[in-house]
Structure formats: C-alpha cells, structure tokens
Amino acid sequence: MNNKLLSLLHQRATRIEHSVIPQSVCVYCGGPVAPHRAPSGQTQDLDLFIPIRELVIARRRHPLLHLPNWLLPCCRTCNQIASGYVFVTFLTKFDFLQSRRRSNTSWTICDNPRAGELSELVVSRDFSSIILPLDERFAPRRIIHCPERVLNDSLWIIAKRMIPLCSSEIPFSGR
C-alpha cells in the first residue's frame, strides 16, 4: 500500500464523528446536565455510547467497516459507572445504569423526552459483528468488557469479549 492511501485510511480510522442527542437532562438518570464541548475538544456532561478507546481500536483494525458513535447527555455519576463498558443497545446500557443507581433515581426510559429515539439506539451491525467471545487462541486482540444480565435479569456480570486483529489493520505512522 502506498503512503498516501495508508495516511487516508489512518485518518478515517481515527477521526471520530459523533451524532449528538441534544437535551438538558441525563439520558440515564434524568439529572440536570449542561452538555458542551470545550475548545480543546474535551466534552463535559456527554457520554460516548461506544467508549472512544474501543472505537478507535475497532476502526484501526477494521478500517472498511461503518462504525458510527453517539454523544449522549450524561451526568458525571452515570458516566463514571458506564465508563469503559461496551453495550450493544441503549436499553441495555440504561438498565445497567439503573441497576447501579437503583436507590438514587426513579427515572424510567418513558420519562425521557427523546425516549423513542433513544430506545432504537444500537451499535451498527458492523460493530456488533466484530465483538466476539473471548478466545485465547486469538492474539493479538483487544479485550473489552460487556455487562450482561444473568439469573432471571436480577444480576449483572461483566463478560469479557474481544475485538480480534484484522489482517488489514492500519499501521500507526506517528502522524
């Protein structure tokens, strides 16, 4: 591959474009938020539906796949609880956060003014297709943590999954 094509593929893999769902309450608990992006690019009161680290790795390892992401209004507490976990649907992430905050909030998905739009939020088919059960025979791989319900939906476990290395991974050029 020539350097120009590698550079373009690297830019595509690491450029993060997000769809934003604007509102002034946390999508998970209903608490007040003032979401914004600082001039430095850092966000406040916003949750990346797919954690940025996992998304960048997935885009570098699978540059030809369509891997969109969303910025969701989110309070600091909910963001810290969900930080680093990968969820395939918004409803799963919402339920996980509700179970962790059960004593602190009575907010339901129906209370959210954008409930219809949020209920349908899922990762792309491309992204879900590269999240595989952990297999020690695959190396290198990126291990990700995906909360899952067990025991009649009353208990959550943190399942380990992986994003295996794709043979077309974009080499890091340092640019």
In terms of pLDDT, which residue wins out, 89 or 58?
89
Candidate from 23-27, 42-46, 86-90, 103-107 with smallest mean pLDDT? 103-107
Element (DSSP H or E) covering residue 125: helix 125-130
The full length of the chain comes to 175
Nearest CA among 117, 60, 55, 127 for reference residue 88: 127
Map out the domains of the chain as residue ranges.
17-129
| Closest residue by Cα to residue 97 from 29, 162, 18 | 29
Residue 154 has pLDDT above 80, yes or no: no
Per residue in 63-103, pLDDT (tens digit) is: 888 888 888 999 999 999 998 899 999 999 999 998 888 76
